[in-house]
Amino acid sequence: MTSLHDSDVGQPVDPADGGRSLKLLSVVAPVYNEVAIIEQFYSRVCAALNGVGFEMVLVDDGSSDGSDIELLKLASNDPRVRVVQLSRNFGHQTALTAGLDHARGDAVVMLDADLQDPPELIPRMLDHWRAGCDVIYAVREQREGESHFKLATARWFYSLFDRLAQVELQHNSGDFRMLDRRALDALLSMRERNRFLRGMTVWVGYRQAAVPYTRDRRYAGVTKYTISKMMRFSLDAISSFSHRPLQLATLLGFLISTLAFIAIPVVIVLRLLGSYLPGFGSLTIAVLLLGGIQLIAIGIIGEYVGRIYDEVKGRPLYLVRGRVNIPDDEAPPVSTASAPSQPGRTM
Ligand code: UDP
Ligand code: MG
């Protein structure tokens, strides 16, 4: 992975990139029950991007607090605001994907709607993009107003992920990142179900750069990540970038079989020494050996099932209930984003 840092802006640009000029920037944000925030989010983004041609793709992730009405209001006053309404709550990562699917920009930036990711950082990210970087991720140097619990669990998660997964994830980088169109297209071609976007954006490679920032406290409302959502999210992250947990079963099988083999001479020695309980030794060995072999077999099957499981469930990632300021011909094709069912195909 090439990882540049903030100070690297202004380095010679790869001639293949030919220097970049921006026609349209897509700002993508998922919204789930954020009625108290939406307007403020809209005005902060508009102020931060003064003079930049941009569109805002806001995804209503099945909100039930009137956020949808607030979004419609914004969209009716400003055609740059495009709204994708999902049919129910699909979760942060899927909602983000829906937004990215609908983005038309040469560059796209994704951020949380709760203003924890300051939109004022976007122009600095754009400088990196113009200098030829394809994935620009914001790295939190400080996190304001977050509980010890959240900070500690985040730390545990990142160190576990480091140990298990094959991609190198920058600690404390959230989903606040900018992607060039080619990196975005690569990302969108990955239609896997367990989505861990920040790992996937690193996986696509290209030229990557980090921009440090201070993560603010939430502007209003409370976190939408419950403990169970956080657990599921970490499991998704690890399972989609590592097969280590499955390999653990194989390892365990070998360990236990080894124990059984060690037990054979021990039983013989005990027999010779005369301290011997009839039947005990042979039974223990048989149980350990069989148990070990079974675990190995389950482990190996698990390896395959894990891989098949990743692939076979051809479900749509999300379903769209409606779109505002997005003409039908600009909606992503059904096969990838899956809005209503295709003619002649039952769902
Ligand atoms: N979000 C969403 N669907 C969900 C949970 C969250 O679209 O099921 C959105 C939420 O509205 C916010 C962003 O994802 O814009 C991040 O969520 P949150 O601030 O609750 O997470 P935290 O910052 O506490 O990790
Ligand atoms: Mg937040």
CB 212 within 8 Å of CB 171: no
For 175-207, write each residue's pLDDT tens digit. 899 999 999 999 888 887 777 888 888 888 888
According to the model, what pLDDT value does residue 315 have?
74
Under DSSP, the state recorded for 246 is: H
pLDDT recorded at residue 307:
66
CA of 11 to the centre of ligand 2 (A): 33
Mark the ranges of the chain whose per-residue pLDDT is less than 70. Answer: 1-18, 276, 303, 307, 310, 334-347
pLDDT at 303: 67
- Letter string b/e over residues 20-58, b meaning 16 or more CB atoms within 10 A of that residue's CB: beeebbbbbbbbbbbbebbeebbebbbebbeeeebbbbb
Mutate which of 27, 28, 32, 37 for ligand 1? The one with the most ligand atoms within 8 Å of its CB, which is: 32
**What pLDDT sits at residue 2?**
40
So what's the pLDDT on residue 87? 92
> What sign does the CA torsion over 88, 90, 96, 99 have?
negative
Measured distance CA(98)–CA(117) in Å, rounded: 19
Question: Separation of 222 CA from ligand 1 center, angstroms?
Answer: 9
| β pairing state of 54-60 and 135-143 | unpaired
pLDDT of res. 334: 55
Q: What is the pLDDT of residue 71?
A: 94
* pLDDT at position 139: 87
In the prediction, which pLDDT does 181 show? Answer: 92
Q: What is the number of the ligand 1 atom nearest to the C-alpha of 91?
A: 8
Dist. CA 39–CA 37, nearest whole Å: 6
Closest atom of ligand 1 relative to the 114 alpha carbon: 15
Would you state the pLDDT for residue 4?
41
Helix (H, G, I), strand (E, B) or coil at 346: coil
Contact 32, 61 (CB under 8 A): yes
Residue to mutate, 60, 92, 144, 196, ligand 1, most ligand atoms under 8 Å from C-beta: 92
Q: Point out the ligand 1 atom lying closest to the alpha carbon of residue 229.
A: 8
Residues with CB under 6 A from ligand 1: 30-32, 34, 61, 89, 91-92, 95, 112-114, 116, 223-225
Query: In 10 A of CB 271, how many CB atoms?
Result: 12
| Enclosing H/E stretch for 292 | helix 280-312
